[in-house]
């Protein structure tokens, strides 16, 4: 019964390929760029604990649900939701969930590409020896100067968007799968090397304390929302990226097992990035709350001081670009799959259109770091608004409805047909998606709105 539908876009070649692709999607700028700076802004240890709690109680059950919906529907998230709604005999408006995801993916990619562009620019800075002075003030200054130049940001944003389009245009096996196969392991090795370097600094213990010694007085309603939003963001949940990857998953592969693997790898990379970065922050007298520039200001200092820093620095930023690339392709895949299904376009044409559209929107983020930096709404510039709207609101909302659909709308026996879990595990999962995950999202939202 489980193989009643087939994806017109192809399938992953194996379980390993799916795990790599989903890990490639999950591990990205969110782990290495965003996690350290939001941890720094939200006071460290307590924030990390809330984030880990959200990954476990909300993230993993929803990842299982999202993958399962995708594999059952076997189409782009919009059409998958249409099909599954009919199968469940439910009201037809559930496919708007697919649309919410497509819009969220487009908004996220518009700024994601700009930041990934920074990483490309930093590859060139690293290779040309710009960090070799090892002087903290001078290296942080480099970053401030760089983001002030709209022209440079636009150039690198364009390069990254073109790269994304080229990979997605080649399709499931040719593009997506090949790209991640060797990138992920290399990134892990380089991160471990950075951790080793951080251990050699005097501030290693101070960095660890900051990350793992919780001070709950620093937690506010908004930081809980940020931690929860980040759990969705870092696991690529709530917008259909994992759903569309699930739709290419061959049958008979355990969705629960792969979800644990992916979430585990993703969390490990984020924690390693934090362990590598905070000692460097303290060793060089920088502020953990420096914001989006944090890794671009701290890591180059380390590269400037260590032996072989030129090579390691260059390699690190190259791998960061690839980690970003294996994530960005999943942000646009739902839209591309839908255009291919419904407009009957070639993959290429769908990619170009979606890419150009996203690129134009990304200019807003570019300018929010320079010529429009004074433009603020609710005390946030355009980049911060987009980030808040997508990561903190749209993804949790999308995840909420996916959990509700999987738990309450879909026939239980259909879910079990896909998941093939033993009785107890299935009950556990079902309980989490029916009650815990939706209630947690709901409570955090209510709290932030200020009703509680
Ligand atoms: N998870 C990626 C990161 O941490 C970003 C990402 C890729 C994403 N696809 C997504 C975020 C889908 C939300 C939804 O860098």
22, 126, 32, 55: which is closest to 324 by C-alpha?
A: 32
Q: In angstroms, what is the span from residue 230 Cα to ligand 1's centroid?
A: 9
| Sole residue written with tokens 């050699």 | 200
**CA-to-CA separations, 165 to 210, 247, 360, in angstroms, rounded:** 39, 20, 14
7: tokens are 């994806």
Residue 405 per-residue DSSP state? I
Q: Is the pLDDT of residue 182 over 80?
A: no
Per-residue pLDDT of 362-408, as tens digits, reads 999 999 999 999 999 888 999 999 999 999 999 999 999 999 999 99
Q: In angstroms, what is the span from residue 234 Cα to ligand 1's centroid?
A: 5
Lowest-confidence region among 8-17, 105-114, 308-317:
8-17
**What whole-number distance in Å separates Cα of residue 56 and Cα of residue 227?**
12
> Where does 128-220 have alpha helices with state H?
136-147, 150-169, 178-181, 183-199, 204-212
**What whole-number distance in Å separates Cα of residue 126 and Cα of residue 313?**
6
**What whole-number distance in Å separates Cα of residue 322 and Cα of residue 328?**
10
Among 160, 265, 330, 392, which is best to mutate for testing ligand 1, by the most ligand atoms less than 8 A from CB?
330
The residue-averaged pLDDT of 208-223 equals: 94
Asked if residues 172 and 12 have their Cβ atoms less than 8 Å apart, the reply is yes
**pTM of this prediction?**
0.94
The residue-averaged pLDDT of 174-183 equals: 70
Predicted pLDDT at 2: 46
Pocket of ligand 1 (CB under 6 A): 25-26, 28-31, 108, 233-234, 236, 239, 241, 327, 330-331, 395
Which ligand 1 atom minimizes the distance to the CA of 237? 14
**What whole-number distance in Å separates Cα of residue 97 and Cα of residue 93?**
8
Among 118, 176, 236, which is best to mutate for testing ligand 1, by the most ligand atoms less than 8 A from CB?
236
| Sole residue written with tokens 């620019």 | 121
Q: In angstroms, what is the span from residue 28 Cα to ligand 1's centroid?
A: 7
Among 59, 233, 237, 243, which is best to mutate for testing ligand 1, by the most ligand atoms less than 8 A from CB?
233
Which ligand 1 atom minimizes the distance to the CA of 266? 4
Q: In angstroms, what is the span from residue 329 Cα to ligand 1's centroid?
A: 10
Among 62, 63, 104, 331, which is best to mutate for testing ligand 1, by the most ligand atoms less than 8 A from CB?
331
Which ligand 1 atom minimizes the distance to the CA of 235? 1
- Which of the four pLDDT bands, split at 50, 70 and 90, describes residue 179? low
205: tokens are 């213990």
> CB within 8 A of 45, min separation 6: which ones?
209, 210, 211, 212, 213, 214, 215
Per-residue pLDDT of 51-102, as tens digits, reads 999 999 999 999 999 999 999 999 999 999 999 999 999 988 999 999 999 9
Look at ligand 1, atom 12, and give the residue with the nearest C-alpha.
236
């Amino acid at each position: 019964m489980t193989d009643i539908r087939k994806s017109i876009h192809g399938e992953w070649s194996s379980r390993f390929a799916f795990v790599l692709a989903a890990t490639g999607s999950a591990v990205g700028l969110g782990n290495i760029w965003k996690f350290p700076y939001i941890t720094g802004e939200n006071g460290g240890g307590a924030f990390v604990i809330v984030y880990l709690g959200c990954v476990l109680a909300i993230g993993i059950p929803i990842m299982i649900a999202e993958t399962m919906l995708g594999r059952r529907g076997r189409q782009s998230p919009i059409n998958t939701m249409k099909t599954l709604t009919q199968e469940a005999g439910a009201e037809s408006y559930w496919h708007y969930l697919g649309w919410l995801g497509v819009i969220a993916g487009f908004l996220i990619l518009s700024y994601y590409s700009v930041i990934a562009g920074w990483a490309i620019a930093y590859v060139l800075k690293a290779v040309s020896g710009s960090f070799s002075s090892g002087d903290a003030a001078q290296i942080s200054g480099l970053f401030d100067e760089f983001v002030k130049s709209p022209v440079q940001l636009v150039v690198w944003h364009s390069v990254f968007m073109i790269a994304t389009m080229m990979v997605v245009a080649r399709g499931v096996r040719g593009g997506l799968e090949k790209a991640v196969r060797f990138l992920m392991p290399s990134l892990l090795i380089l991160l471990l090397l950075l951790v080793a370097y951080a251990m050699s600094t005097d501030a290693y213990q101070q960095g660890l304390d900051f990350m793992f010694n919780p001070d709950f007085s620093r937690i506010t309603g908004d930081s809980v929302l940020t931690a929860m939003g980040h759990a969705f963001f870092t696991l690529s949940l709530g917008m259909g990226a994992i759903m569309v990857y699930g739709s290419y998953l061959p049958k008979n592969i355990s969705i629960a097992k792969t979800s644990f693997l992916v979430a585990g790898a993703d969390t490990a990379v984020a924690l390693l990035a934090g362990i590598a970065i905070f000692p460097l922050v303290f060793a060089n007298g920088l502020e953990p709350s420096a914001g989006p520039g944090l890794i671009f200001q701290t890591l180059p200092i380390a590269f400037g001081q260590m032996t072989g820093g030129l090579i390691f620095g260059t390699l690190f930023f190259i791998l960061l670009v690839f980690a970003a690339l294996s994530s960005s392709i999943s942000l646009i895949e739902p839209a591309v799959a839908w255009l291919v299904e419904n407009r009957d376009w070639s993959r290429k044409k769908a990619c170009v259109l979606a890419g150009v559209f996203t690129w134009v929107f990304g200019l807003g983020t570019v300018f929010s770091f320079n010529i429009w930096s004074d433009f603020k709404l609710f005390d946030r510039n355009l980049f911060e608004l987009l980030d808040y709207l997508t990561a903190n609101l749209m993804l949790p909302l999308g995840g909420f409805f996916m959990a509700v659909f999987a738990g309450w709308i879909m026939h239980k026996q259909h879910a079990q047909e896909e998941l093939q879990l033993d009785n107890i595990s299935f009950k556990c999962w079902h309980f989490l998606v029916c009650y815990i995950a939706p209630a947690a999202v709901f409570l955090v939202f209510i709290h932030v709105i200020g009703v509680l």
